[in-house]
Amino acid sequence: MTKPNTLTIAGSDSGGGAGIQADLKTFHARGTHGLTAVTAITSQNTRGVTAVHTLPLVHIRSQIEAVFDDFPIAAVKTGMLGSAAVTRLVAREMQRRKPPWLVVDPVMIATSGARLLDEDAMDALVNRLIPLADVVTPNLPEAEALLGRPVGRDIDAAGADLLALGARAVLLKGGHARGRDIVDRYYDADGVLEIRHPRLPFEGHGSGCTLASALAAELARGKPPRAAARAALAWVNKAFQRAWRPGAGAAHVLGH
């Protein structure tokens, strides 16, 4: 039996609910073999992030080289990059390696509120990495940071502006909006696709990491982008329904 190889370039979560740990669990659950390039080590639990250590660029680059030199990689997902230097490095490597699919999750702030992306990194993210992406997956606060303005009521205008940053598609997550239902919107050259599902009465730790990884896995397995987005969102919704609290904090970890 063979499985497609999927690579996550992201930070480690010692609490196991987000980051590299969530990515690997998702890759496995969605039928792919997970590879990693760790960008940072966080000291983290269900209560919050207490420390972040970014790895030296040489070690991040060597991890990327090691996996690309050995494995045929079907899709890459990027998560926490942390700094402008790391973001530029990853963009250079992706431009050089040209993976079949690249999903960029613009991780900026943890669920606990801890900042996970330096302000100086925004320019590198917008101008270097996102234009290489097949899909970029911001939530509403991340979308506002990328655009430099509030999203406001005209979400479709924001979606069009995000698409203009250069990615082939944008999956704009609606969890931070109000309403009984969560409305996620997928924007591409063919227009907008809305996917609705009921809002659950808690916030899932690592949900953004899990969704981007599920999307990368579905693309790696051969689904076209819109079908991959639908499948990833449906699976994450089920993972939310299986969520539980493994620690003393309020954070729920998704059930993979």
Closest-CA residue to 171 (of 119, 243, 227): 227
User: What pLDDT, in 10s, does the model give residues 135-186?
Assistant: 999 999 899 989 999 987 889 999 999 999 999 999 999 866 666 788 999 9
Are the beta carbons of 132 and 95 closer than 8 angstroms?
Answer: yes
pLDDT tens digits, 85-137: 999 999 999 999 999 999 999 988 766 556 667 778 889 999 999 999 999 99
- What is the pLDDT, as a whole number, of residue 177? 64
Is residue 204 pLDDT above 90, yes or no? no
Q: Are strands 33-45 and 5-13 parallel, antiparallel or unpaired?
A: parallel
Between vectors from CA 76 to CA 75 and to CA 80, what angle results, nearest 5°? 155
5-14, 21-30, 52-61, 195-204: least confidently modelled range: 195-204
Mean pLDDT of the chain: 91
**Mean pLDDT, range 25-48, rounded to an integer:** 95
H helices of the chain, in order, are: 19-29, 57-70, 84-97, 121-124, 140-147, 155-163, 207-220, 225-241
- pLDDT of 73 strictly over 90: yes
Separation of alpha carbons 56 and 60, rounded Å: 7
Q: Is pTM beyond 0.85 here?
A: yes
